[in-house]
Structure 1
Amino acid sequence: MRTRPFPPPDPLSRRTALRAAGAGALLLGAGGGLAGCRSAVSAQEGAAAAGPKRGGKLTIGINQDFTPALLYTQSGESFQNRLIYNTLIRYDDQLKPHPELATSWEYAADGKSITLTLRDDVTYHDGRKFTADDVVFAVENLKKPERSAQLAATARTVTGFEKRGEHELVLKLAHPVSNLFDLFEFMIITDRHTVDEAVKGTKLNGTGPFRFKEWRPGTALTLTRNDTYWIPDRPYLDSVELRLYTQPDALLSALRSGQVHLSYQVSGKHLATLQSNANFTIKKYNTGNGAVYVGASVHEAPADSREFRQAVAWAVDRDRVVKQALGGYGLASAAPWPRSSPAYSEANRTHYTHDPGKARQLLKASGVPTKHTLPLGHPTTPLHTSIAEIVQYDLQQIGIRTELQPSDPASFQKKLISGTMPTLWINGHGFAQVQPATLAVSAYPFNEAKNTSGYGSDAYTEAVQDAWRHKDPTGAKALARYQKISDLLLDEAFIVDLAVQSAVQVAAKELHGPRLTKFSYLDLDDAYLV
């Protein structure tokens, strides 16, 4: 079937859509993409009347430094990817793919090939034309183990390519996969000639709206406007600086003083102080951009006991995690799925609740000794530190003593990838916000082939592979497959989900138009300052 869902983006229609989205943000509520406070809506209505303005430097406050070695790994360090690079498609909130570098596609009825029609008017920042060879390279590059790309398994299902000119490409698949378009949104199209320089952070050559200017490790990443961007008259901004703030108070101070215009890393306790501030707009992405969890290394006692892991699941007060650590911007949930996911169900979400009595019973039934203090690892971000402290307290109430073991985010990510975590750890994961099979074949904590916890079983492998090896990710049969995965995750509890996170956008009132993709890449195509 030939699929041509939309023509190439039209600047005027996108601008109109953006204005409509801003004015209607409150109407979307929990079922839509964004929910905003009244000040956000009023400010956007004002911007709509004034219209976009060209020029200006946008400063963004981040709490994790750019890490070029993890360029192809989705993590907290992936924030800048969509500023420098493009992807083949972009999802909307309902996981419907829209054209980006691919303008249309034809998916074979048997799910074993897909034909992509590519844009023919795109150049890299160095002037080289984008062609089908760049897509071939992008797929092959993700297959390399050194890239640590979570969607490598999906990339490896592409077993062959057939070029039909410079801008038409057939991808041949070993078998159907339900998350092929997740790959197309995840996979940044980097320059195949400078990839070694890119992963060192010395040259980042893309097709995106901004060009790489300078990376000062531990300080900032600076980008400038791409005057030859393929979307006419975009971007509006002259430059962007992603400035590092490792302390939450420093980030808050920078926002209040006007040094920073935008951040998605404001700590939960500080969000409440900004809600009534007329100088800021706050937007919540309700489709779920990740979740926070307790991980367990199942080959280390006492986490090798399923009853012990279930005791942990019953012990933690998820509502407190949402209220205190997430500032109310989240959904207490024992399952990883946001409400927008086809795999979501209320029964899964509430499978574990805060029940210390039941936790103590399970702990006693497990027979594991509790006299030893267990390590509880976590990244040193304010969010994860706050959650670790809550979990430590709740576990102490049922007789499990822990010692916090903080690591800087980059080092923590490397431990996660290599599977060298302590007995218990705190972290966040993504991939539940896209097609459900992606979580279990791609995310390091859940990967059925090799996950951080060291968990594996024939039943888990069978359930995951069954959900993944189908072309259609929707429908009653697909939902039944996803439920099998959920049942195993909840019962085995090697990952104890605590809450689905809502990305929260804090922006100065003069900034309009930023958005996040499904993989939390920042899109500033339509952003402007007034």
Structure 2
Amino acid sequence: MTELYPFTPSGPTRRSTLRAAGGGALLLGLGLAGCRSAVSNTSSSPQGASAAPHRGGVLNVAVNADFTPALLFAQSGQSLQQRLIYNTLTRYDDDLRPKPELATSWTYAKDGRSITLRLRDDVTFHNGREFTADDVVFAVKNLQNPVRAAQLRSTAATITGFEKRGDHELVLKLAHPVNNLFDLFEFMIITDPESVEDAVAGKKFIGTGPFKLKKWSPGSGLSLTRNDAYWQPGRPYLDGVELRVIAQADALISSLRSGQSQLSFDVPGKSIGVVKSESGLTISDYDTGAGAIYLGVNTTVAPLNDRTVRQALARAVDRDRLVAQTLGGYGLASAAPWPKSSPAFTEAHRTHYTHDPAKARALLKSAGHSRLDLPMLHIALPGETAIAESIQYDLKQIGVHVTLQPTDGATAQKKLISQGMPALWSMGHGFAQVQPSTLAVSAYPFNEAKNTSRYRSAEYTEVVQEAWTKPETDTAAANALHEKISSILLDEAFLIDLVVRGQLQVSAARLHGVTLNKFSYLNLDNAYLV
């Protein structure tokens, strides 16, 4: 058994202090800065270089769409606020090594069929109730509930038993080994069981996080206030956070330039040039690969049930132009879903489909088509519309005429989950930035058992399940399985990846300490304004 005793920056809990002192364990000092790797900064005052942190101030965050309570337990474009109100058990560093949050340490059984978690014993919910192992049991069972539409429900479902060892130690028993438990632990927010139904109805949000809900104004945004009883001493520095809905790109940019907002992740790529020249703003690119742009294909709609037609579409899109003109130069043109940080990434997969309209037209002709007319759904936001129009233009060059169907984000997400998409759709996906097996067992567009494209394959299911249950330590076998998954995705083209990108952050130069986790949950524990 491998036993770890990592610590949070605020120090060990009372219980872990005693245990570590008695056992002579290796103590790992670490920060909760999270998974942030800013590859591009533009400002006279880059993030992290400033005066010492201090208390006070309210941070205004400009978002382009309102929070959707019904999607609280699903990864979506409205997940930014998750880590502000709630904590998770663990969080990854940039190299996919789990670090503690509400769990302080863990022990895997040798057979991979159970894991023992030690939990913090100094945490309370916003209503004053103590956090215990019962809350972890509830969180797992909550994600096992199909009603929650949580992408990691398959992983949660492998947990078939719970053994409590007091209030702050818990054994999770597994039906079979899986290699993405820590994806679940970072994805799974810890909520108050008694108010969870109020949460999904938008009435009450009670967590253990750094901020408490002050008010949710549907259509306007969330107002949060500092949690004075937060378990990290002296945190957060900010007195409050306002997430303000500003749907129009021009208004959002104006809000940032005027200082009315100090942070946004929703500036369209085409508009990045406008803010680059602003000395009071900083642009940071989170290259964790937490997001990707893709063209979805409904394989039950003729002639998209023909793989040759789908491969033609994959060769029609000019990915490099999409990055340069539509995304402001931020992103990695890629035919595969994996960011460079993923163990599944290869340059051959990334360049498998290059822009080749002549080859695309030849493939369509070989399948008996010279012209196709198809609908394509997209989210009705400026950045998403620009992406859809770019794809529309490229497809037209090979004889595929696309009628755009603008749709609000909540409706698009519901259609994604329910397999209710039209012939084509353009959206973003996540889950390629964590354990590679998670993508194909959890993400709606890729799920081997029930994906949005309605693609099914015994071969795909077999290799995905094998990859999911393969021990992480068996690197060679895992890499071979990742290769098989990538080959199937590229060859079958039931989902056509276009660009891997992280979150593009525009912030005031006087704002420091902002981070995101692997699921793009905003972490403001150490954020402050100067």
TM-score with structure 2 setting the length: 0.94
2:482 aligned with 1:482: yes
Identity of aligned residues (%): 61
CA gap 1:193/1:75 in 2 versus in 1, 3 angstroms: same
Determine the C-alpha separation between the residues in 1 that align with 2:145 and 2:426. 28
**Partner letter of residue 10 of structure 2?**
D
**Counterpart position of 1:228:** 229
Q: Name 1:34's counterpart in structure 2.
A: 38
The answer as to 2:364 corresponding to 1:363 is yes
Q: Distance in 2 between matches of 1:140 and 1:256?
A: 45
Q: Distance in 2 between matches of 1:43 and 1:483?
A: 38
2:9, 2:30 within 8 Å by CA — same for their partners in 1?
no
Q: Which residue of 2 aligns with 1:272?
A: 273
Does the 8 A contact of 1:177 with 1:468 survive in 2? yes
1:430 maps onto 2:430 in alignment: yes
Give the equivalent residue in structure 2 for 1:76.
Answer: 77
* Alpha-carbon contact 1:342-1:474 (below 8 Å) kept: no
Matches of 1:340 and 1:382, distance apart in 2: 29
Q: Does the 8 A contact of 2:57 with 2:239 survive in 1?
A: yes
- 1:40 shift after superposition: 6.0
How far apart, in 1, do the equivalents of 2:404 and 2:194 lie?
44
Alignment of 1:336-351 (within 5 A): 336-351=337-352
How far apart in 1 are the matches of 2:365 and 2:152? 40
- Match of 1:461, SS? helix
Find the counterpart in structure 1 of residue 92 from structure 2.
Answer: 91
CA contact (8 A) 1:108 1:114 kept: yes
Match of 2:18 in 1: none
Which runs of structure 1 show a deviation greater than 3 angstroms over 4 or more consecutive aligned residues? 14-19, 40-44
Question: Paired residue for 2:413?
Answer: 413
- 1:171 match: secondary structure: strand
Q: Report the aligned-residue RMSD.
A: 2.0
- Name the CA distance, whole Å, in 2 between partners of 1:474 and 1:327: 40
- Alpha-carbon spacing, 1:143–1:42, altered in 2? closer, same or farther (3 Å): closer
Shift of 1:8: 2.6
The answer on 1:130 being equivalent to 2:138 is no
Residues 357/307 of structure 1: CA separation in 2 closer, same or farther (3 Å cut): same
Q: Which amino acid aligns with 2:206?
A: N
Q: CA deviation at 1:125?
A: 0.2
1:176 counterpart residue number: 177
Tell me which residue corresponds to 1:24: none
Residue in structure 2 matched with residue 525 of structure 1 by the alignment: 525
Match of 2:500 in 1: 500
The residue that corresponds to 1:301 in the other structure is 302
Cα contact 1:124–1:205 (8 A) shared by 2:
yes
Q: 1:325 Cα deviation (Å)?
A: 2.0
Judge conservation of contact 2:192–2:207 (CA < 8 Å) in 1.
Answer: yes
- Distance 1:42-1:416 versus aligned 2 partners, 3 A rule: closer
SS in 1 for 2:314: helix
1 CA distance for matches of 2:262 and 2:378? 29
Q: CA deviation at 1:138?
A: 0.3
Separation in 2 of the partners of 1:43 and 1:309?
43
Compared CA separation, residues 90 and 415, structure 1 to 2 (3 A): same
The answer for unaligned runs of 5 or more in structure 2 is: 13-27
- Please give the secondary structure, in 2, of the residue aligned with 1:463: helix
- Extract unaligned runs of 5+ from structure 1: 22-30
Matched residue SS, 1:351 = coil
2:137 is paired with a residue whose SS is helix
C-alpha distance in 2, partners of 1:206/1:306?
46
Please give the secondary structure, in 2, of the residue aligned with 1:78: coil
Give runs of aligned pairs for residues 51-200 of structure 1, distance below 5 A: 51-200=52-201
* Structure-2 residue corresponding to 1:27: none
- Per-residue CA deviation, residues 421-473 of structure 1 (Å, 9 max, x unaligned), is 00011000000000000000000000000000000101100110010012316
Partner of 2:24: none
Report whether the alignment pairs 1:326 with 2:327: yes
Please report how far the alpha carbon of residue 220 of structure 1 lies from its aligned counterpart in structure 2 after TM superposition.
1.3
Q: Distance in 2 between matches of 1:77 and 1:473?
A: 34
Matches within 5 A, 1:447-486: 447-472=447-472, 475-486=475-486
Contact 2:6 2:29 in 1 (8 A): no
The Cα offsets for residues 103-125 of structure 1, whole Å up to 9 and x where unpaired, read as 00001111100000000000000
Does structure 1 conserve the Cα–Cα contact (< 8 Å) formed by 2:9 and 2:29?
no
Between the aligned partners of 2:48 and 2:447, the Cα distance in structure 1 is 41
Q: CA deviation at 1:11?
A: 7.7
Distance 1:311 1:473, change over 3 A: farther
Deviation of 1:43 after TM superposition, in Å, equals 5.7
Deviation at 1:369, TM superposition (A): 6.2
Q: Is the 8 A contact 2:270 2:383 kept in 1?
A: no
Give the superposition deviation at 1:10.
3.0
CA deviation map 1:85-144 (0-9, x unaligned):
000001111110000000000011111000000000000000000000000000000011
Paired with 1:301 and 1:230, the residues of 2 have a C-alpha distance of 56
More deviation, 266-275/228-237: 266-275
The answer to whether the 8 A contact 2:294-2:498 is kept is: yes
Pair 299,473 (structure 1): closer, same or farther in 2 beyond 3 Å: farther
Do the aligned residues in 1 keep the contact of 2:336 with 2:497 (CA within 8 Å)? yes
Cα pair 1:268 1:383 within 8 Å, conserved? yes
Partner of 2:20: none
Q: Which amino acid aligns with 2:43?
A: S
**How much has 1:474 moved relative to structure 2?**
6.0
- Matched residues in 1 for 2:272 and 2:251: separation? 14
Partner of 1:510: 510
Against the structure 1 CA distance between its residues 450 and 208, is the aligned structure 2 distance closer, same or farther, given a 3 Å change threshold? same
Distance 2:389 2:167 in 1: 55
Give the corresponding residue for 2:401.
401
Deviates further, 462-471 or 413-422: 462-471
Q: Secondary structure of the equivalent of 1:4? A: strand
Tell me how far apart the structure 1 counterparts of residues 237 and 514 of structure 2 sit (CA, whole Å).
11
Select between 233-242 and 282-291 the one with higher mean Cα deviation.
282-291
Paired amino acid for 2:243 = L
Question: 1:5, CA displacement in angstroms?
Answer: 5.2
Question: What CA deviation, in whole Å up to 9, does each residue of 1:359-391 have, x standing for no partner?
Answer: 001101112463x52101111122221111011
Alignment of 1:254-265 (within 5 A): 254-265=255-266
Task: Report how far residue 3 of structure 1 moved.
Answer: 3.1
Residue in structure 2 matched with residue 243 of structure 1 by the alignment: 244
Distance between the aligned counterparts of 1:484 and 1:460, measured in 2? Answer: 9
Q: Separation in 2 of the partners of 1:153 and 1:113?
A: 16
Instruction: Tell me, yes or no, if structure 1 residue 315 matches structure 2 residue 319.
Output: no
Does the Cα contact within 8 Å between 1:302 and 1:369 map onto a contact in 2? no
Deviates more, 1:202-211 or 1:281-290: 281-290
Distance in 2 between residues matched to 1:391 and 1:242, nearest whole Å: 31
Preserved contact between residue 64 and residue 245 of structure 2 (Cα < 8 Å): yes
Between Structure 1 and Structure 2, how many residues are aligned? Answer: 516
Query: 2:42·2:284 contact (CA, 8 Å) conserved in 1?
Result: no
